[in-house]
Structure 1
Amino acid sequence: MPQLDTSTWLLTILSMIFTLFALLQLKISKHFYSPSPKPVDTKLQKQQTPWNHTWTKIYLPLS
């Protein structure tokens, strides 16, 4: 049974890491960041739900 040749693994792994790093840098460089972000007014708005208007009674089962 022939031995597994691992002499090219280092080159393959290093080139894969470099390629992933380059692709990540290209993806980040194309991302648009707004130059001056403005604070967003976060007012809580009360949502209308059906159970706010009507009163319901929950009955427990007989024990």
Structure 2
Amino acid sequence: MPQLDTSTWLMMIMSMFLALFIIFQLKISKHSFHLNPETTLAKAQKQSTPWETKWTKIYLPLLLPQ
């Protein structure tokens, strides 16, 4: 039964990583970034809920008359 020759695997893996790194760097270098991004202020919209206009009183059980 022939043995598997693994002597070239390290060179193959290293060259694959180098090629992927170069391709990734080329893709990143073609991407255009904004120089000064401006922040946009998001205005919070007040949502009206029915219980905001009502006066409610909460009685705790310990404060009830005994």
> Same-fold call, TM > 0.5?
yes
Gaps of 5+ in 1: 53-63
Q: CA RMSD in A?
A: 1.8
Q: How does 1:1-63 map to 2 (within 5 A)?
A: 1-45=1-45
CA distance in 1: counterparts of 2:4 and 2:28, whole angstroms: 38
4+ long deviations beyond 4 Å: none
CA distance in 1: counterparts of 2:27 and 2:42, whole angstroms: 31
Q: How many residues align?
A: 50
Structure with the greater alpha carbon radius of gyration: 2
| CA-CA distance at 1:45 after TM superposition | 3.7
| CA-CA distance at 1:42 after TM superposition | 1.1
- State the SS of the aligned residue for 1:7: coil
Identity score, percent: 56
| CA-CA distance at 1:46 after TM superposition | 5.8
Relative to the length of structure 1, the TM-score reads 0.66
Name the aligned partner's letter for residue 33 of structure 1. F
Gaps of 5+ in 2: 50-66
